[in-house]
Amino acid sequence: MEAIVFEQLSKTYPGGKEAVKELNLSLEQGEVFGFLGPNGAGKTTTVKLLTGILSPSRGSCRVLGVDPAQHPEQVHSFSGVVTEHAQMYDHLTGMENLEFYAALFGLSRQQGTQRAKQLLEQLDLSDAAGQKLGAYSTGMRQKLSLARALLAQPKILFLDEPTSGMDPESVLRVNRMLRRLAKEEGVTLFLCTHQLRYAQEICTRYGLMEQGRLLACGTLEELQNRVSAGMKVQIRAKKVPPALGLALKADGIWEGNISREEEIPKLVRQLVELGGEIYSVSAQTPSLEEIYFALTGAQEVLL
Amino acid sequence: MKRSMYAMIHKDFRGVVSNRRLFASLLIVPIVLTVLLPSIFVITGHFTPDDPDLQQMLSLLPESIQESSLEQLIHQMLLNYILPVFFLMIPIMTASIMAASSFVGEKEKRTLETLLYAPLTLKEIFRAKVLACFLVSMLVSLISFAAMLLVLETELFFLTGSGLFPGISWLVILLLVSPAISLIAITLIVRQSAKAKTVEESQQGAVFLIIPIVLLAIGQFTGVLMLSVWVLLGLGVLCALVAGLLLKRAMGNFTYEKLLS
């Protein structure tokens, strides 16, 4: 069964703002799907539609076969949600917060405590378990939110900027954990972020959003092919003959267009035979950031 | 009851106790109304029983109790006719403060959305929250009543050497009127909670509930309406009906979008 299916999903707010426009998409179980776009692109609204917090204006969506607009509590029973608006209680400790949410998810007291301890350890929060949440840093709060979302061993995780405010070490730890969940436990990850470099590290497929519309969807390779048919090769060399058609980009750095990776050895051979001196060769494929800008024509950096 | 609903009620109880500001605001009104006010009345009545205003008020009391001694009469009037009206403010204030903290407070602190992601229906969340507010309101009312009785009886014992039994009207107040107006206050706050952005804003609706109480107090002091058991029973039944209607309507209007807007 497909994990998530969107059919012409649209959401217009009472004020008239069209936050999501005719979204058509489907996600397989165990996918790490990056839902990317700048602030205001409609990412958070989509998560709210998928969790039943908002009702669609037109179209529908299904999460593991369940319509969240009809049965939100059923969707909540097998999903975990992390968003910046979903906070926990400052007057409770990290452990007490997790125990409370474990009880909401129907775990027994013993199960809840055990699961909370396990997650706190995995996220390196064991030392802060007895501290009131009010004393937590932003990164620690974010990790605790992730622990909360994982309490009932969800089949689907909706993560809205899950690593914001975390230090690099924590980001690595969380990424490892998320990859393992997807790979070993088949958890589907619906990850919303405007940090394209971060998304490229962890996601297996991407959906690029702009002003509520899905601009493109696919794996990195599919998206790369969509924006440019071939690839670039960058060579640091001296005595490069003009006959090869390489363009000088910087001092000693030459660039050429090729259609496939297999053309690189031939190019190198030709260059050597014509008297060129090669120091390094690298194939350049467009990054997710470059793909996004190519698709939107946007000039500004997303962050 | 589901363990999840019990957990929510328990969490809301803890939220009250651990929040000093909230706890203090829950205690101030009951202390003033059940300790300070009765003490002032008892002492005034003891030292100035001949006050003409007081005499005029006592003449309004039913003839059946007019036969008691002057001081007993004053105390009867205090315990069974004046204090019940003031006492009704306790469940209103407690329920309002609790409901505002439980619904709008959670929205303000961004914890409501997290709660809505739990595998509970909106009705279950609503029920658990209303129940938590209701139980706190009832608990504070009962403790206030006990405290009031203790203070009043002790003072009367030291001043007159005898005690006084509360009338049957207190039973109607504690078991019918007080629970019903608590529920009315809670539902009014919940209705406000969809629009209100802050706890203070949401409490404004409950202020209107104080107006009938003030009118009742004026009625008592002027003799326009004496709070007999029958009047209280009628009032209680009416309030219970209104509470039931309001609760049903509030539950129907309770949607994710309205709550988080």
The per-residue pLDDT for range A97-113, each reduced to its tens digit, is 999 999 999 999 999 99
Q: Does residue B157 have a pLDDT over 60?
A: yes
Q: How sure is the predictor about A224, in pLDDT bands with cuts at 50, 70 and 90?
A: confident
Nearest CA to CA, how far is A36 from chain B (Å)?
A: 23
Residue A285, Cβ density class (10 Å: 0-12 exposed, 13-18 middle, ≥19 buried): middle
Q: Which secondary structure element, helix H or strand E, spans residue A82, and what is its range?
A: strand A79-82
pLDDT digits (tens, 9 = 90+) for A159-215: 999 998 899 999 999 999 999 999 999 999 999 998 888 898 899 999 999 999 998
Quote the pLDDT of residue A302.
41
Contact A109, A103 (CB under 8 A): yes
Structure-model confidence comparison of residues B82 and A279, the more confident one: A279
- Rounded distance, CA A186 to CA B100, Å? 42
Written as one letter, the residue type at A69 is: A
Buried-state track A150-189, b at ≥16 Cβ within 10 A, e below 16 = bbbebbbbbbbbbbeebeeebbebbbebbeebbeeeebbb
Question: What integer best gives the mean pLDDT of chain A?
Answer: 91
Nearest neighbour of A91 by CB, restricted to B15, B114, B119: B15
Quote the pLDDT of residue B3.
84
Tell me which chain B residue has its CA closest to the CA of residue A56: B257
Structure-model confidence comparison of residues B52 and B248, the more confident one: B248
Task: Write out the residue limits of the CATH 3.30.70 domain(s) in chain A.
Answer: 229-285
Q: Domain containing B58: what range? A: 3-260
Please identify, in words, the CATH class of the domain defined by A229-285: alpha beta
Contact A90, A134 (CB under 8 A): yes
pLDDT digits (tens, 9 = 90+) for B169-219: 899 999 999 999 999 999 888 877 767 777 777 777 667 777 777 777 777
Quote the pLDDT of residue A192.
95
Question: Dihedral through CA B170, CA B172, CA B173, CA B177, nearest 10?
Answer: -170
Contact B192, B204 (CB under 8 A): yes
Q: How far is CA A255 from the centre of its chain?
A: 31
Provide mean pLDDT across the span B22-28: 85
DSSP-derived letter for residue A135 is: G
Which residues in chain B have their CB less than 8 angstroms from residue A54's CB? 256-257
Q: How many CA atoms lie within 13 A of A268 on its CB side?
A: 15
Quote the pLDDT of residue B194.
67
Q: How sure is the predictor about A300, in pLDDT bands with cuts at 50, 70 and 90?
A: very low
If one counts the domains in chain B, the total is: 1
Q: How many CA atoms lie within 13 A of A40 on its CB side?
A: 3
Structure-model confidence comparison of residues B35 and A303, the more confident one: B35
Task: Write out the residue limits of the CATH 3.40.50.300 domain(s) in chain A.
Answer: 4-224
Q: How sure is the predictor about A35, in pLDDT bands with cuts at 50, 70 and 90?
A: very high
How many separate helices (H) and strands (E) can be counted in chain A? 10, 13
Nearest CA to CA, how far is A6 from chain B (Å)?
A: 20
Which residues pair with residue A158 across a beta bridge? A81, A190
Nearest CA to CA, how far is A111 from chain B (Å)?
A: 13
Question: What integer best gives the mean pLDDT of chain B?
Answer: 83
Which residues in chain A have their CB less than 8 angstroms from residue B4's CB? 103-106
**Which architecture does CATH list for A4-224?**
3-Layer(aba) Sandwich (3.40)
Token pair in block for residue A284: 């350049």
Token pair in block for residue B192: 């406000």
The sign of the dihedral angle between the CA atoms of A280, A223, A191, A137 is positive
Q: Does B217 touch chain A (CB under 8 A)?
A: no
How many separate helices (H) and strands (E) can be counted in chain B? 15, 0
